[in-house]
Amino acid sequence: MLIKRIQLLGRIGLAFLGDIGRATLILYHALVGKPDWVHGFGRLIQQLYSVGVLSLVIIILSGLFIGMVLALQGYTILVKFGAEHALGQLISLSLVRELGPVVSALLFAGRAGSALTAEIGLMKTTEQLSSMEMMGIDPLRRIIAPRFWAGQISMPLLALIFNCVAILGGYTVGVEWLGVDTGAFWANMQSAVDFYADVMNGVIKSVVFGTVITWIAVYQGNDCTPTSEGIGRATTRTVVYSSLAILGLDFFLTAVMFGET
């Protein structure tokens, strides 16, 4: 009985190490195999479209509503202390430091990450990746690398768009609807938000999240069991693992970036 449990533990450990090894190899090849700008530019643009541009609708709409809710909730609390003029500060700091990178990353994992996994998984299931290998074309360079770089580039841009739209949503509710002074709203925001400490740290978070999400997505697609059930499981794993990784890394990055202030 004990021996069987030890064996099971060993099998799980070896499988985990195997996963880490294969995922690291994919990351290595994706990083080394960045698209060459002569032949690969078109592919990168195509992937930027499917990974980034097609995620715009969900990012913009979510950003708008989150900004509006933030303004509504913030106002109801601030107004009790007569501090509603600080609404701009509250919205902007919440967004650029936390909500922008984290929520946009969660949405990105759900929209683009799952699509990447499903697409690569289906290519594997229909032997398209194998046929590419047999043509002497490395799928890690031809398929994985452009998608990885597109995810890397798209994520911070989507987070910035999310922030801008959310601030506009907050402005609409706070200033246009609830009557907060326009000057106070923007002036407080301008004085409270530091470009490097707040905006750039948020961008760094987005870059890290983008890397992790696309890494998980392309690995799960490339490593899935080549059946319809396997693709389904891999897609679910992408969303679950990405979401957990985003939240865990966010805590770690926040502690490093803002822990001492």
Partner 1 sequence: MHFKQTATHKVMKPNLDNLVEIRQLHFMRNSRVIFEGININVTRGKVTAVMGPSGSGKTTLLRLIGGQLNPDSGKVVVEGENIAKLSRQKLYESRQRMGMLFQSGALFTDISVFENVAFPLREHTDLPESMIRDLVLMKLQAVGLRGACQLMPGELSGGMARRVALARALAMDPSLIMFDEPFAGQDPISMGVLVQLIRLLNDALKMTTIIVSHDVKETMSIADYIYIIADGRIMGEGKPEDLLQSGTPWVQQFIQGLPDGPVPFHYPARGFANDLWNETV
Q: Which residues bind partner 1 (CB under 8 A)?
A: 126-128, 130-131, 133-138, 142
Cβ closer to partner 1: 25 or 256? 25
Cβ closer to partner 1: 172 or 225? 225
What's at 182, amino acid-wise? T
- Contact in structure between 216 and 229 (CB atoms under 8 Å): no
Question: What tokens does 124 get?
Answer: 């594997």
Cβ closer to partner 1: 33 or 174? 33
- Cβ 125 to partner 1 shortest distance, Å: 9
Could you tell me which of 240, 250, 245, 247 has the C-alpha nearest to residue 212? 245
- Cβ 127 to partner 1 shortest distance, Å: 4
Cβ closer to partner 1: 13 or 183? 13
- Cβ 103 to partner 1 shortest distance, Å: 31
- Cβ 46 to partner 1 shortest distance, Å: 10
- Contact in structure between 79 and 216 (CB atoms under 8 Å): no
- Contact in structure between 153 and 52 (CB atoms under 8 Å): yes
- Cβ 29 to partner 1 shortest distance, Å: 9
Cβ closer to partner 1: 79 or 135? 135
What Å distances lie between residue 52 and 10, 156, 158, 200, CA to CA?
Answer: 41, 10, 7, 20
Rounded Cα distance, 226 and 215, in Å:
19
- Cβ 56 to partner 1 shortest distance, Å: 21
- Contact in structure between 120 and 261 (CB atoms under 8 Å): no
Cβ closer to partner 1: 35 or 101? 35
Rounded Cα distance, 178 and 181, in Å:
9
Could you tell me which of 155, 168, 51 has the C-alpha nearest to residue 101? 155
- Cβ 82 to partner 1 shortest distance, Å: 59
Cβ closer to partner 1: 6 or 135? 135
Q: Where are the alpha helices (DSSP H) in the chain?
A: 2-32, 41-47, 56-78, 87-93, 100-108, 114-125, 128-134, 139, 145-171, 182-192, 201-223, 228-258
